[in-house]
């Protein structure tokens, strides 16, 4: 076998395109964030669910339901059909956490409580063209309530989302949960006398509201407009009178929920479904107020259009409202970090029965990026105390030192590389972001002392100090061996 290997070219040490690894603080910071979110979800009565990463293509459905990515694919393969073994089924990696929830809700419908509140956190996979910052494996963090028809479930999730954002460190005032309702839009379409065959086109144009604004959408709904490149984009062909309720809907946000709801009632005219939608929003507003969630945390906002095409009732989105600098150094709002809403037909594919459900998904990478931008993540990156090896025959002594430090709760390790070159040991400590190095040669051992080097102070001195200051080595202290732990603790603060 060794011979065979020599003939073959060496394999490339690379992840597949679009995949990546997470090292050290990348892992711990995300984990700390998700742990805090999980605690909030758990306190709200949500139970964790971890489904298998692999599903049958049949159970998963072949395509993503998200209208933003209609052609997105899955990683799928066919099992070998082996007697007593593989089934010949097509299997695939899950592309989100909702499709597996649908399968679980159907498979275990007789065992799960109704309603079933669950949260799920884990990787999902998309067979898409990778690009900068766009990976084919990424984390999702979802909470859903299955089997609750009441919009109390939607209100609960909106409030919980705010709690989760605060739990990870986003200050009140730095986020806003904005809530809309697909039924109100349906009412508006009725009031505007939009024909059923036009509805999808109208929805598509509304989806551009964030980008092209009121006048842009007006043009797109009526006679069309020219885009930035000068190309003519056809309009849907509504009259201005028809477009008016749609624009009224999109721009009906008032100074507070009461005013917004009044504007919406005007926009839907006499539509029954529209009135149902406005009533739902009013109930959500009342429930949030009762739960102490003020309008500066969660607010009715009909300009939320993302996902309106996918969801069937209330729709919500959490935005971070503080400003960051973009790649070009311009200030901009951080923007959306979570979205969700109410959807039907989750379980229907499997059982034929409609089961109401509502849920939210937090964009894990985006929220983590926000925490980093605000300086709220990164403290975990501190490296271990490194016990250096001056004398390789006394490895047991060095291990004892490290064991003592660890017993005191201090992260510590012995240098385990070739100890010959002491400079390499300090370079290693630097690479490890070690705050302290411990040094004991034979001379120090004989005198019962140990050198403790403050590497953070040392780096500061190296950068700023004069030669005289540097020579005085204030960052290195000799202490009695028995005082090692106390001295390290003093330096770590």
Instruction: Please report, in range form, the residues annotated as the binding site.
Output: 96-98, 126, 140, 144, 306, 310-311
- Pick from 33, 37, 55, 317 the residue near a second copy by CB under 8 A: 55
Asked if 261 interacts with a second copy (CB under 8 A), we say: no
Q: Closer CB to a second copy, residue 163 or residue 478? A: 163
Binding to a second copy, residues 331-370 (CB under 8 A): 349-352
Candidates 102-110, 229-237, 443-451, 480-488 — which segment interacts with a second copy by CB under 8 A?
Answer: 102-110
- The 8-class DSSP code of residue 374 comes to T
The yes or no reply on residue 145 touching a second copy (CB under 8 A) is: yes
For residue 468, give the H/E element and its range: helix 467-472
Considering the complex, what minimum distance in angstroms separates the CB of residue 234 from a second copy? 24
Burial readout 57-66 (b: 16 or more C-beta within 10 A, e: otherwise)? eebbbeebee
DSSP 223-292: TEEE-TTS-EEE-----HHHHHHHHHHHT---SSHHHHHHHHHHHTTT-HHHHHHHHHHHHHHHHHHHTT
Q: Which is nearer to a second copy, 311 or 334 (CB)?
A: 311
- The terminus-to-terminus CA distance of the chain in angstroms comes to 55
The reply to whether 16 sits near a second copy by the rule CB under 8 A is yes
Question: Which one of residues 7, 12, 420, 471 is an interface residue with a second copy (CB under 8 A)?
Answer: 12
Q: Does 267 sit near a second copy (CB under 8 A)?
A: no
Does position 69 bind a second copy by CB under 8 A? no
Rule CB under 8 A: say whether 62 interacts with a second copy: no
Q: Any contact of residue 330 with a second copy (CB under 8 A)? A: no
Binding mask 440-479 for a second copy (x = CB under 8 A): ----------------------------------------
Contacting residue, 43, 332, 372, 460, with a second copy by CB under 8 A? 43
Among 70, 85, 196, 423, binds a second copy (CB under 8 A): 85
Determine which residue in the list 37, 143, 155, 236 makes contact with a second copy, applying CB under 8 A: 155
Residues 6+ apart with CB under 8 A from 102: 346, 347, 349, 350
Binding positions for a second copy, 374-433, rule CB under 8 A: 383-384, 386, 392, 395-397, 399-400, 402-403, 406, 409-414, 416-418, 428, 431-432
203 binding a second copy? (CB under 8 A): no
| CB-CB neighbours of 273 under 10 Å | 16
220-249 residues near a second copy, rule: CB under 8 A: none
As a whole number of angstroms, the distance between CA 271 and CA 264 comes to: 11
Closest by CA to 247, choosing from 206, 211, 284, 283, is 206
Smallest gap from residue 89 Cβ to a second copy (A): 6
Interface with a second copy, residue 15, by CB under 8 A: yes
What residues form the annotated binding site for L-histidine?
Answer: 96-98, 126, 140, 144, 306, 310-311
If binding is defined by CB under 8 A, does position 75 make contact with a second copy?
yes
Question: φ and ψ at 301, to 5 degrees?
Answer: -145, 100
Per CB under 8 A, 14 contacts a second copy: yes
Per CB under 8 A, the list member of 36, 65, 123, 483 interacting with a second copy is 123
Asked whether the CA dihedral 458, 464, 470, 474 is positive or negative, the reply is negative
The 272-311 contact track toward a second copy, x by CB under 8 A, reads -----------x--xx-xxxx-------------------
Q: Assess 7 for contact with a second copy (CB under 8 A).
A: no
| Residue 142 found at the interface with a second copy (CB under 8 A) | no
Candidates 152, 128, 126, 123; CA nearest to 140 is 123
77 binds a second copy (CB under 8 A): yes
Geometric angle at alpha carbon 354, from 352 and 357, rounded to 5° = 135
Q: Give the length of the chain.
A: 493
- Residues 206 and 186 sit within 8 Å (Cβ to Cβ): no
Q: How many CB atoms lie within 10 A of CB 409?
A: 9
Q: Pick the closer one to a second copy by CB: 82 or 463.
A: 82
Q: What letters, b where the CB count within 10 A reaches 16 and e where it falls short, cover 339-364?
A: bbbbbeebbeeeeeeebbbbbbbbbb
What is the DSSP-derived secondary structure letter of residue 73?
A: B
Query: According to CB under 8 A, which one of 72, 76, 212, 461 is a site residue for a second copy?
Result: 76
């Amino acid at each position: 076998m060794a011979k065979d290997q020599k003939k073959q070219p060496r394999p490339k040490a690379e992840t597949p395109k679009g995949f990546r690894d997470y090292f050290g603080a990348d892992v711990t910071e995300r984990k700390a964030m998700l742990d805090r979110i999980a605690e909030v979800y758990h306190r709200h009565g949500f139970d964790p669910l971890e489904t298998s990463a692999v599903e049958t293509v049949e159970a998963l459905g072949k395509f993503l339901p998200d209208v933003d990515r209609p052609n997105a694919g899955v990683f799928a393969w066919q099992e070998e059909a082996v007697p007593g073994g593989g089934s010949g089924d097509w299997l695939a990696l899950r592309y989100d956490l909702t499709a597996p929830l649908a399968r679980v809700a159907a498979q275990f419908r007789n065992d799960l409580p109704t309603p079933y509140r669950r949260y799920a956190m884990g990787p999902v996979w998309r067979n898409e063209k990778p690009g900068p910052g766009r990976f084919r494996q990424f984390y999702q963090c979802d909470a859903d309530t299955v089997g609750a028809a009441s919009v109390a479930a939607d209100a609960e999730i909106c409030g919980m989302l705010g709690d989760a954002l605060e739990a990870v460190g986003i200050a009140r005032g730095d986020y806003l949960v904005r809530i809309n309702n697909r039924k109100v839009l349906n009412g508006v379409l009725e009031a505007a006398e939009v024909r059923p065959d036009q509805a999808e086109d109208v929805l598509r144009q509304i989806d551009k509201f964030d980008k092209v604004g009121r006048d842009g959408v007006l043009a797109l709904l009526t006679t069309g407009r020219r885009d930035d490149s000068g190309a003519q984009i056809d309009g849907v062909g509504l009259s201005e009178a028809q477009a008016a309720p749609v624009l009224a809907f999109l721009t009906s946000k008032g100074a507070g929920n009461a005013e917004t709801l009044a504007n919406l009632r005007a926009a839907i005219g006499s539509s029954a479904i529209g009135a149902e939608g406005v009533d739902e929003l009013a109930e959500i507003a009342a429930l949030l107020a009762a739960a102490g969630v003020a309008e500066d945390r969660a607010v009715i906002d009909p300009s939320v259009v993302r996902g309106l095409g996918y969801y069937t009732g209330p729709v919500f989105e959490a935005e971070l409202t503080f400003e960051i600098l973009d790649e070009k150094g311009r200030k901009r709002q951080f923007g959306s970090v979570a979205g969700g809403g109410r959807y039907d037909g989750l379980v229907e594919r499997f059982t034929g029965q409609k089961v109401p459900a509502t849920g939210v998904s937090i964009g894990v990478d985006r929220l983590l990026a926000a925490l980093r931008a605000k300086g709220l993540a990164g403290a975990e990156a501190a490296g271990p105390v490194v016990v250096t090896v001056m004398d390789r025959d006394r490895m047991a002594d060095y291990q004892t030192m490290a064991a003592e430090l660890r017993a005191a709760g201090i992260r510590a390790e012995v240098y385990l590389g070739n100890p010959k070159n002491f400079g390499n040991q300090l370079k290693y400590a630097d690479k490890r972001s070690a705050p302290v190095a411990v040094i004991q040669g034979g001379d120090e051992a004989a005198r019962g002392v140990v050198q403790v080097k403050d590497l953070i102070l040392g780096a500061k001195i190296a950068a700023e100090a004069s030669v005289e200051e540097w020579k005085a080595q204030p960052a290195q202290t000799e202490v009695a061996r028995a005082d090692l732990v106390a001295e390290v603790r003093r330096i770590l603060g």
